[in-house]
């Protein structure tokens, strides 16, 4: 039986190299290429014709959604697995609409990534549990009368998201927040993007307004 040929697309060198090293140790897997941006992922897919493309969403030039769409326009049988930190509804929906066959979060154990690749290579789909829950919720809402848009509940934010939001409202940079919370600036940026999606605002200024309207003002004495 031939090896499953895998192309990795991720702009973070350390993460990409680490994943490639771990997957290369898996029997039956072969890493045929690594792309650091979306346009390169499209070009390398055309040249190498991998069995599975493991695609990050946040990529330079073309993001993972645009790259997925372009690859499948050229090769409709291509199998693409999203491997990303983003789990908000918009990212999930747009990646699935682009044609991805699976969606796994970066914090997942390597065993789950291996299973996802094998499942997709065999012609099925694979979605992380967290993503499956979101998909089921979206399907359940299909056909229901659309409710008027209401502000997102503060309780929907995780403790970490609240910490990040507070520091953003204090006008700290990603690097400054990372130093305070002992995480990477890239992780802070991921949280920032997720907050923008979750709170339905357009930018960092919107995050600051949300914080001051829903938290800051509540803490001030009458």
pTM: 0.65
3-state secondary structure of 35: strand
Q: How confident is the model at residue 49 (pLDDT cuts 50, 70, 90)?
A: very high
Query: What domains lie within the chain, and their CATH numbers?
Result: 4-141 (3.40.50.2300), 154-215 (1.10.10.10)
Give the residue with greater pLDDT, 83 vs 202.
Answer: 83
Of 15-29, 104-118, 193-207, the range with the lowest mean pLDDT is: 193-207
Q: How many CB atoms lie within 10 A of CB 42?
A: 24
Give the span between the Cα atoms of 59 and 132, in whole angstroms. Answer: 24
Contact 207, 214 (CB under 8 A): no
Strands laid side by side in the 126-127 sheet: 29-35, 4-9, 52-55, 80-84, 102-105, 126-127
Give the span between the Cα atoms of 198 and 51, in whole angstroms. Answer: 34
Mean pLDDT of 45-55: 97
Q: Could you tell me what percent of the chain has a pLDDT over 90?
A: 49
Burial per residue of 183-200, b for 16 or more beta-carbon CB atoms within 10 angstroms, e otherwise: beebbbbbbbbbbbebbe
């Amino acid at each position: 039986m031939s090896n499953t040929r895998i192309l990795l697309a991720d702009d973070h060198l350390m993460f990409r190299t680490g994943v490639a090293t771990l997957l290369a140790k898996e029997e039956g897997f072969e890493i045929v290429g690594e792309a650091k941006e979306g346009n390169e992922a499209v070009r390398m897919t055309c040249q190498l014709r991998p069995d599975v493309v493991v695609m990050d969403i946040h990529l330079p030039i073309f993001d993972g959604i645009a790259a997925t769409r372009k690859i499948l326009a050229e090769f409709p049988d291509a199998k693409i697995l999203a491997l990303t930190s983003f789990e908000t509804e918009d990212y999930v929906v747009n990646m699935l609409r682009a044609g991805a066959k699976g969606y796994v979060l970066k914090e997942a154990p390597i065993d789950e990534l291996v299973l996802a690749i094998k499942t997709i290579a065999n012609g099925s789909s694979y979605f992380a549990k967290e993503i499956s829950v979101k998909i089921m919720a979206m399907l359940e809402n299909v056909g229901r009368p659309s409710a008027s848009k209401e502000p997102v509940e503060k309780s929907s934010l995780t403790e970490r998201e609240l910490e990040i939001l507070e520091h953003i409202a204090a006008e700290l940079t990603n690097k400054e927040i990372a130093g305070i919370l002992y995480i990477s600036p890239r992780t802070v940026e991921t949280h920032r993007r997720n907050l923008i999606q979750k709170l339905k605002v357009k930018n960092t200024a919107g995050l600051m307004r949300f914080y001051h309207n829903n938290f800051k003002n509540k803490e001030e004495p009458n």
